[in-house]
Amino acid sequence: DADVTQTPRNRITKTGKRIMLECSQTKGHDRMYWYRQDPGLGLRLIYYSFDVKDINKGEISDGYSVSRQAQAKFSLSLESAIPNQTALYFCATRQGAGNEQFFGPGTRLTVL
Amino acid sequence: GESVGLHLPTLSVQEGDNSIINCAYSNSASDYFIWYKQESGKGPQFIIDIRSNMDKRQGQRVTVLLNKTVKHLSLQIAATQPGDSAVYFCAEISGGGADGLTFGKGTHLIIQP
């Protein structure tokens, strides 16, 4: 079984709709991250969380919100989706100060 | 702002040859540099990292070289195999990495039979 899972894997929605992307992990890691990947670009950080009570904005947080419901779950919401939020979204986990981040399989989101 | 970038978007090599993927960075305060491999349809996968006070580190079939003088990082893959086909990203961590990784744009490695 995958250690980091994301749902849904693919989603097509319309402008103005509210969308939630979910991430779950079984690795027991304390830190979780949401990244966005656009064609020809590297991943960019949206939000990150050190634990359930700690949420921090990343480089491109505008238009997004997150919720850390439990240590194992970190969800990303688009309150009112717009076409330029069409992208691949990745969740990642990390344990403490370790360098390695473990990525989920990604969610492909298309906003029409 | 600070950035991590790559010299070439695509690299094509013959199976069995060695591959060298290059990366330039601008943040002198980076603590670690990391290489990730992303296969089609999957999330990035950690390959190897190197601390900023080192200039070389070897793993299984991979070697990372760090030249701080010219702010250049490279990933060498020995005896390239078809399974090495992927996009390779360099990334950097600074300040303990609390705010995540800063990624470069990626190089697509293509293995020719």
pLDDT tens string A38-58: 977 789 999 999 989 899 999
Contact B97 A99 (CB under 8 A): yes
Contact B89 A43 (CB under 8 A): yes
For residue A89, what are the contacts with CB-CB under 8 A and spacing of at least 6? A6, A21, A34, A35, A36, A37, A46, A76, A106, A107, A108, A109
* Residue B7 binned pLDDT confidence (cut-offs 50, 70, 90): very low
Cβ-based contacts of A97 with chain B (< 8 Å): 96-97
* Residue B80 binned pLDDT confidence (cut-offs 50, 70, 90): very high
Do residues A92 and A106 make contact, with C-beta atoms less than 8 angstroms apart?
A: no
Interface with chain B: mutation pick from A76, A101, A102, A108, highest number of B CBs within 10 Å:
A101
Instruction: Tell me the per-residue pLDDT of B29-60, one tens digit each, with 9 for 90 and over.
Output: 888 999 999 998 899 999 999 999 999 999 99
What's the average model confidence in pLDDT over A78-91? 96
Share of chain B above pLDDT 90, in %: 66
Q: How far apart are CA A78 and CA A98, in angstroms?
A: 30
pLDDT(B99) > 60: yes
What's the average model confidence in pLDDT over A14-31? 96
What's the average model confidence in pLDDT over A16-28? 97
Contact A101 B101 (CB under 8 A): yes
pLDDT at position B25, please? 87
pLDDT at position A93, please? 95
For residue A72, what are the contacts with CB-CB under 8 A and spacing of at least 6? A24, A25, A26, A28
* Residue B103 binned pLDDT confidence (cut-offs 50, 70, 90): confident
Contact B100 A35 (CB under 8 A): yes
Q: How far apart are CA A93 and CA A29, in angstroms?
A: 6
Q: What is the 3-state secondary structure (H, E, C) of B20-89?
A: EEEEEECCCCEEEEEEEEECCCCCCEEEEEEECCCCEEECCCEEEEEECCCCEEEEEECCCCHHHCEEEE
pLDDT at position B31, please? 85
Encoded tokens for B32: 């670690």
